[in-house]
Amino acid sequence: MLKFFSKTVLKLAGWKLKVDLPKEKKFVLIGAPHTSNWDFPLALLTFWTLDLKIYWVAKIQMFWGPFYYLFTFLGGIVLDRNSSHGFIAQIAKRFDQTDEMVLSIAPEGTRSKTDYWKSGFYHIAISAKVPICLAYIDYSKRTLGFAQVLYPSGNIDDDMKIIAEFYQNIKGKRPQCQGPVRLKKK
């Protein structure tokens, strides 16, 4: 019922789905660009059209009061940025303990313009030994999709070039809030 509802809502709203799922049952799904509050409900509707249990990471501030129960039921995993010590290892362990897991992360980490993406998605994929699926919400074409699969090489600079090339022509709801697809040099 939820699958039918989600497909219907997206169709009535004029959105097209282009989903090419990886053959693997475990992967990190990065979603970009993330420029609007509308990205979250559109992503949930997309997830519900699929026969996958998708988990997603969000900052602790979203999980207040009754929303904690709702969001964890919907696959939410709390990220406390003030004490994220060991978060990558915890998520990698979750991948090890299950046969199927899709973890969705918005690497921009915010809806505001940022100069750099957060690298956690990459480190989780390396630690868990899973591929990265590149997902998008392109408001200019009213298209939602899961597309290219990247098997992390361990060379984060080379892999980020591939990711940046993929996202170069995809526009968020507020393109002025999109920053470059790159990581901060350490």
**Domain residue limits, the chain:** 2-175
Could you say which DSSP state residue 139 is in?
T
pLDDT-based confidence at residue 181 (cuts at 50, 70, 90):
confident
Give this prediction's pTM: 0.87
Residue 85 confidence (pLDDT): 67
Pairing of strands 16-19, 101-105: unpaired
φ, ψ of residue 88 to 5 degrees: the values are: -60, -45
43-59: average pLDDT? 84
Residue 57 confidence (pLDDT): 81
φ, ψ of residue 80 to 5 degrees: the values are: -95, 105
The chain-wide mean pLDDT, for the chain, equals 88
Most confident of 80-89, 108-117, 164-173: 164-173
pLDDT-based confidence at residue 44 (cuts at 50, 70, 90):
confident
pLDDT-based confidence at residue 18 (cuts at 50, 70, 90):
very high
Distances 96 to 12, 26, 54 between C-alpha atoms, Å: 39, 10, 16
Structure tokens at 98: 């299950």
Q: Is the pLDDT of residue 115 over 70?
A: yes
pLDDT-based confidence at residue 63 (cuts at 50, 70, 90):
confident
Residue 56, SS3 per DSSP: strand
Residue 83 confidence (pLDDT): 62
Is 63:78 a contact under the CB 8 Å cutoff? yes
